[in-house]
Amino acid sequence: MSEFAIHDGVLHVEEIPLTELATRFGTPCYVYSRAAIVRQWEAFQAHMPAPHKVCYAVKANSNLAVLQVLAELGAGFDVVSGGEIARVLRAGGLAKNIVFSGVGKSDAEIRYALEQNIGQFNVESDAELDRIAAIAADLQCTARISFRVNPDVDAKTHPYIATGLEANKFGIPMQDALATYRRAARLPSVEIVGADCHIGSQLTETQPFLDALDRMLVLVDALAAEGISLKHLDMGGGLGVTYADETPPPIGHYLQAMHARLVDYPDLALYLEPGRAIVANAGVLLTRVEYLKANRSKHFVMVDAGMNDLLRPSLYQAHHDIVNVVASNAPEVTGDIVGPVCETGDFLGQNRTLRVAAGDLLAVKSAGAYGFAMSSNYNSRPRPPEVMVAGEQAYLIRARETLDDVWRGETLIPISDTQ
């Protein structure tokens, strides 16, 4: 995470001290490094076998400027809603580079996607196939489709972010895949282009990806034997990152291991949908200490960012390193770093040791993925701004919300005349 480094005792993002950003934009505040995003993107490009397509998973961080940076690099995009399609297009991404995943696509979303002529749908069920085929027929166009197949592989990750087990709601069971493909092959308004799976997120081992790939290749062979030849195989996202002491495989190792399995399939393009691996370590959440508090058994460091700003620690017991922005001489405290939200589960870190005093700035690291994207207005808290740093420049890429933003769309009801 070299774009976040200490110079002269102050944590910088690229060329800018975070202290300066706190003064300029206030806290809490998300800060991203453009160079870090570009570096991760390029790591995928450098090691991808040809032919391939990397489709950034928009859900990880869907800020328009983040999408713009990736669109300018020629990225594909994995989306899960009509809103994400619109964001990609608004940011300059190309419709033909969009793959539409998502387990519950509505009529309106499918119609919109077809009207925009997106690259393809990753279809999650027989019922969805029928719906897409009918809407495409109605629009007199052809929908390019892959099926998301559930390979029943244990991703060995947090149960909330494992998706490739039979017990999960995602995809078509492997045993049913052939029949579903056969049926799709007979529908005139769809064109089969590929197969897809996504087994989970924050994987720290290569083996589950390879197990899934092996199972998918058995399907590819079976389809080929029936005359259904696929143009690409989409292995989803899921490559983990280092939050604490995890040691996920480097991007190159993960890709080379998959490539080794694909040498006998030179015409089958590998698609990937990484989200976290591209943006997680490109962002921090900047927050200021409001109060120190202690009871007889525990210390609390109360900061101005809460679970509504960064939900991961509360929802998944996820670890994010939390560090001083400026080295402090304050006494050492061991306790929980907690936010202002009225929930016991509102913490950013537990049992951390830091030298802190009220007013100090802290950086919650690895917050670029599933950070702002999962934020909310719980407790009527305006969501924080997002800032993108590029060298010596800092751009406000999303303004801090105002209270008007928070209650936009709400209305008072007429005063009741029965009172």
Binding residues for pyridoxal 5'-phosphate: 238, 273-276, 370
Task: Assess contact for 251 and 277: CB atoms under 8 A.
Answer: yes
Residue 236 makes contact with ligand LLP by CB under 6 A: yes
| Known active-site residue 342 | yes
Strands (E), 207-303: 232-234, 269-272, 283-294, 299-303
- Piece of the chain touching ligand LLP by CB under 6 A; list 232-240, 329-337, 344-352, 388-396: 232-240
Residue 277 makes contact with ligand LLP by CB under 6 A: yes
Residue tagged 């969009």 (tokens): 98
Residue 276 makes contact with ligand LLP by CB under 6 A: yes
Distance CA 182, CA 35 (A): 45
Catalytic residue chosen out of the listed positions 29, 55, 197, 342: 342
Residue 202 makes contact with ligand LLP by CB under 6 A: yes
Residue 201 makes contact with ligand LLP by CB under 6 A: yes
For residue 290, the minimal CB distance to ligand LLP (Å) is 25
Residue 368 makes contact with ligand LLP by CB under 6 A: no
For residue 3, the minimal CB distance to ligand LLP (Å) is 19
Say how many CA atoms lie within 13 Å of 103 toward its Cβ: 10
**H or E element that contains 257:** helix 251-262
Looking only at the bridges linking them, the beta strands covering 347-355 and 299-303 are unpaired
Cβ-proximal residues to 411 (8 Å cutoff; 6+ apart), any chain: none
Residue tagged 């058995």 (tokens): 218
Nearer to ligand LLP, 22 or 239 (CB): 239
Alpha helices (H) in 290-409, listed in sequence order: 312-316, 403-406
Site for ligand LLP in 103-162 (CB under 6 A): 161
Distance CA 190, CA 39 (A): 37
Closest residue to bound ligand LLP by CB: 237
Nearer to ligand LLP, 152 or 360 (CB): 152
For residue 335, the minimal CB distance to ligand LLP (Å) is 24
For residue 284, the minimal CB distance to ligand LLP (Å) is 16
For residue 280, the minimal CB distance to ligand LLP (Å) is 8
Residue type, 82: G
Of positions 147, 271, 370, 372, contacts ligand LLP by CB under 6 A: 370
Compute how many residues bind ligand LLP; rule: CB under 6 A.
22
Task: Assess contact for 104 and 127: CB atoms under 8 A.
Answer: no
Residue 84 makes contact with ligand LLP by CB under 6 A: no
Residue 273 makes contact with ligand LLP by CB under 6 A: yes
Task: Assess contact for 66 and 369: CB atoms under 8 A.
Answer: no
Alpha helices (H) in 357-407, listed in sequence order: 403-406
Nearer to ligand LLP, 237 or 335 (CB): 237
Residue tagged 């696929």 (tokens): 230
Distances (CA, A) of 376 to 75, 165, 309, 366, 418: 28, 29, 7, 19, 36
For residue 293, the minimal CB distance to ligand LLP (Å) is 28
Catalytic residue list: 342
Chain residues binding ligand LLP by CB under 6 A are 57, 60, 78, 101, 161, 163, 198, 201-202, 236-239, 273-277, 312, 316, 370, 374
